[in-house]
Structure 1
């Protein structure tokens, strides 16, 4: 039986400041904290064996209420963090990200290209499958990470679907070591 991975895109977070590098400590907004609490019944129904998360606070805060209800810790993995785009939040952020989606081999400055990021995502999926075979794993995550995980699992995702993805959102994929090797 393959590993079932339930991704939770984080709820509404405080917006990053223009001209300032994004912070890993950027939290959920008040309505995001409420939304995370409202997710608990749905997430508990998946009966995960473990709760993993990106180390970025907004992702942890989104899955922490469900982890608490399940009596599980939230375990952070650095490879689950959001795309390191190399971009600083700005008014022209959307067209720059769209350019990356249209040219996934392109990297902004010292950032990851989407192709490089997708390799990291695939490795993270393989690690989850290897460490939690035949289990359900809940993962606190981010929009671009979830989109690239869907692509890695053979599903369609593009810039438009990323823009339409709600906050929070739940996506389920299956992964196995044999399929992802």
Structure 2
């Protein structure tokens, strides 16, 4: 018997700006709302028993149409949130992210390192697998979270991998036991 946790990267969102909205409330863009609708057929075929999400609006919006089609609630879990990078808003964020990817132990004041994110991501994915033994669950989250979860489970990821990950994207993690390494299937759309 196996357990699957299907990580879904949120669809295309409106870009961040200095004026907001903040990261928690930043929504999907119009094309992202359409992408969320286009995910319904693919995700409902998997027959998930639960739909989990980061509390960030764009992640919830990505799986809400699927949850509605399945008659399931979207439940949020704080641990599925995006990386707490500790970086105040800036248009020039890429060099800061590249530095963090080059040194995953680096943490800014008030932020978490990518190594810390990896531990958080692996822990919550394992918890979802343990809580749903023998079943399949969806977990809507974010690109950096997914990249670091995959890294923590032994799949090579780096700054370039993160940059190339589409929105939305789907990664299936299949566990024979929640304590072992999962088989990972890249179902990127």
Q: Please give the TM-score of this superposition, normalised by the length of structure 2.
A: 0.90
| Structure 1 residues 103 and 21: alpha-carbon distance in aligned structure 2, compared to 1, 3 A threshold | farther
CA contact (8 A) 1:54 1:80 kept: yes
| Structure 2, unaligned runs of 5 or more | 182-189
How far does the alpha carbon of each residue in 1:75-109 deviate from its partner, in whole angstroms, 9 at most, with x for none? 10000000000012312201100100100000012
Post-superposition offset of 1:129:
1.4
What corresponds to 1:145 in structure 2?
Answer: 145
Question: Alignment length, in residue pairs?
Answer: 180
What corresponds to 2:172 in structure 1?
Answer: 172
CA contact (8 A) 1:22 1:88 kept: no
Post-superposition offset of 1:21:
8.5
| Structure 1 residues 71 and 19: alpha-carbon distance in aligned structure 2, compared to 1, 3 A threshold | closer
Question: Whose helix proportion is higher, 1 or 2?
Answer: 1
CA contact (8 A) 2:11 2:35 kept: yes
What corresponds to 2:186 in structure 1?
Answer: none
RCO higher in structure (CA 8 A, sep ≥6): 1
* CA distance in structure 1 between the aligned counterparts of 2:166 and 2:179, rounded to whole angstroms: 32
What corresponds to 1:34 in structure 2?
Answer: 34
* CA distance in structure 2 between the aligned counterparts of 1:179 and 1:49, rounded to whole angstroms: 22
Post-superposition offset of 1:9:
0.5
| Structure 1, unaligned runs of 5 or more | none
The secondary structure found in structure 1 opposite 2:140 is: strand
CA contact (8 A) 1:19 1:89 kept: no
Q: Please give the TM-score of this superposition, normalised by the length of structure 1.
A: 0.94
CA RMSD of aligned residues (A): 1.5
What corresponds to 1:79 in structure 2?
Answer: 79
How far does the alpha carbon of each residue in 1:93-136 deviate from its partner, in whole angstroms, 9 at most, with x for none? 01100100100000012100001111111110121011111111
